[in-house]
Amino acid sequence: MNSVYVVVWKELKDMLRDIRTLAAIAFLPLLILPLMSLTSIYAQGLQPGYVALINYDKTSGSVGGVNITSEDILKEISEALEKNGLHVIYGASANADATIIIKEGFAKNLTSLTERARLEIIKTLGSSKADQVENIVLNLINDLNFRLASLKVIELSGIAGLNVSVDSVLRPVEAQVSVVGVGGAPVSYEEAIRVYISRFLSFSLIFVTTPSTAYITDSVIGEKERKTLEALLSTPVPRHALIIGKVVSTSLIGLLTGFTNALGLLLFAYVPSLIYGINLFYLIPGSVMLAHFIAIYFSVLSSLALVTPAVIRSGSYRAAQASSMIIISVATIVFFISLYVDIEQLSNVFKWLLYLIPYTHASLFIKFVALGMLREALTHLTILLLVIAGLMYVSIKLFNEERIIYGRT
């Protein structure tokens, strides 16, 4: 342990010489996560959207004792669009993100029992606002369809002399959705949301694996190219202590990024509630925050344990960086899969292939903590530690002084 401590101290002094890079690594999550929170909710509001409304209809109609004109419908559409922060232009406009055209005979056909009213939405290619307009108008049309169909059912039932329930005709099937946890116990909406948040937290681990791999590459290949590795190998420090010391010291970057990511996550939830009154803070309990911090550190350790054997066998910075990029790509794939897929529910072959990758267990650790399944969470954390220990043993066995010093650079 004394030998490991000496190596750790030496590596930390080397890292502290580049204090600007360390500060950038620490500051980035504190900046990025709150900005992600703010922009994901409000960025669309900062982009002006323009909608052109064109009415070719001059007709009117009546159904169920209610008189309807196309101007009434146009007013509803306009109010819905403006409520969502869009600017309405009456008449054709070349600057419009979307154009809504009410066809001739719209009101007459809307109240007819034999015809259908027609409305056209023209979207500008590549405009996100056009997609928003489409969603708003289609939702409004669905509501309008039900209201007009209800009036028609009432009118027809009066003609037929029948007592008819509008819902039994237009909505004959009623679906009820509820969420249950493990064992079938019902869960609250907040608990369900926390599971989705855990998926996002797992995905966010992608951003913390890269800095540490750059440091371990410099710690081995950099010292070799700077001709300082020979002096280090001439000391009585055991080779296993040298490897462990370099990995442990570099993993402290993981502690730094883990702390700042956890703090950035708090800001991610707190800033919108502070500025805009949208409370996201209560959705992230302390246990999930702690799990996020632990998963970050062990994901960094996993990256180091995977990269170190490749770095040791690499002859140059370029080769080591190429190996690191491959490994980081694997991490990206796992964390991306965890965003959309329940890994533990996959077929056995694919599931066990993913279980061989340590990042899978970091992702599942967060998920099971969010679900309150602590035994399963600790199981995956234990597996993760065993995989890291095994990879470190491989690194120690692969460490060859002559190959590292006299190999091609």
pLDDT by residue (tens digit) across 211-229?
777 777 777 777 776 777 6
**Are 299 and 392 within one domain?**
yes
What tokens appear for 63 in the block?
A: 């159904």
183 falls within a domain: no
Residue 286 contacts by C-beta under 8 Å, 6 or more apart in sequence? none
Q: What is the model's pLDDT at position 106?
A: 93
175 falls within a domain: no
Backbone φ, ψ for residue 62 (5° rounding): -140, 135
Q: How far apart are CA 360 and CA 335, in angstroms?
A: 7
Q: What is the model's pLDDT at position 81?
A: 93
The residue type of 193 is: I
pLDDT tier at 140, thresholds 50, 70, 90: very high
**Are 148 and 290 within one domain?**
no
**Are 230 and 296 within one domain?**
yes
**Are 29 and 52 within one domain?**
no
Min mean pLDDT across 26-30, 364-368, 370-374, 384-388 is at 26-30
Give bridge partners of residue 51 from the DSSP assignment: 88, 98
Q: How many CB atoms lie within 10 A of CB 149?
A: 14
pLDDT tier at 281, thresholds 50, 70, 90: low
330 falls within a domain: yes
**Are 209 and 317 within one domain?**
yes
**Are 220 and 100 within one domain?**
no
Backbone φ, ψ for residue 100 (5° rounding): -115, 125
From the list 296, 282, 286, 297, the residue with the least C-alpha distance to 372 is 286
- Residue at which a domain ends, from 118, 141, 170: 170
Average pLDDT, the chain: 80
SS3 at position 32: helix
Q: What percent of the chain has pLDDT over 70?
A: 80
321 falls within a domain: yes
pLDDT in tens, 146-157: 999 999 998 888
217 falls within a domain: yes
pLDDT tier at 133, thresholds 50, 70, 90: very high
**Are 293 and 348 within one domain?**
yes
**Are 60 and 95 within one domain?**
yes
From the list 125, 129, 39, 126, the residue with the least C-alpha distance to 84 is 129
336 falls within a domain: yes
Do the Cβ atoms of 388 and 400 come closer than 8 Å?
no
Region 270-295: what's the mean pLDDT?
Answer: 69
pLDDT in tens, 62-94: 887 889 899 999 999 999 999 988 899 999 988
8 falls within a domain: yes
Distance in Å from the first CA to the final CA of the chain: 32
**Are 141 and 108 within one domain?**
yes
- Residue at which a domain ends, from 143, 170, 197: 170
Q: Do you know the residue count of the chain?
A: 409
> Which element (helix H / strand E) includes 100?
strand 98-102
Give bridge partners of residue 124 from the DSSP assignment: none
Q: What is the model's pLDDT at position 38?
A: 64
Min mean pLDDT across 70-84, 163-177, 222-236, 326-340 is at 222-236
Domains held by the chain: number: 2
Q: How many CB atoms lie within 10 A of CB 385?
A: 15
Q: What is the model's pLDDT at position 135?
A: 93
SS3 at position 51: strand
Q: How would you classify the pairing of strands 87-90 and 119-123?
A: unpaired
Q: What is the model's pLDDT at position 144?
A: 92
More confident residue, 103 or 358: 103
SS3 at position 339: helix
Q: What is the model's pLDDT at position 105?
A: 93
204 falls within a domain: yes
**Are 337 and 239 within one domain?**
yes
Q: What is the pTM of this model?
A: 0.65
**Are 195 and 337 within one domain?**
yes
pLDDT tier at 139, thresholds 50, 70, 90: very high
With 0-12 / 13-18 / 19 or more C-beta atoms within 10 angstroms meaning exposed / middle / buried, residue 180 is exposed
Q: What percent of the chain has pLDDT over 90?
A: 20
What tokens appear for 382 in the block?
A: 């234990």
pLDDT tier at 400, thresholds 50, 70, 90: low
Do the Cβ atoms of 381 and 294 come closer than 8 Å?
yes
Task: Outline where 91-165 has alpha helix (H).
Answer: 106-110, 128-160
Q: What is the model's pLDDT at position 278?
A: 54
Judged against a pLDDT cut of 70, whether residue 5 lies above it is answered with yes
CATH number of the domain bearing residue 83: 3.40.1710
**Are 314 and 248 within one domain?**
yes
Q: What is the model's pLDDT at position 273?
A: 61
Most confident of 157-161, 196-200, 305-309: 157-161
pLDDT tier at 250, thresholds 50, 70, 90: confident
Judged against a pLDDT cut of 70, whether residue 345 lies above it is answered with yes
DSSP annotation of 86 reads: P
* HSE-up (13 A, CA, CB side) for residue 84: 21
Q: What is the model's pLDDT at position 358?
A: 86
Q: How far apart are CA 341 and CA 290, in angstroms?
A: 23
Q: How far apart are CA 152 and CA 113, in angstroms?
A: 8
Name the residue range of residue 61's domain: 48-170
pLDDT tier at 134, thresholds 50, 70, 90: very high
More confident residue, 124 or 208: 124
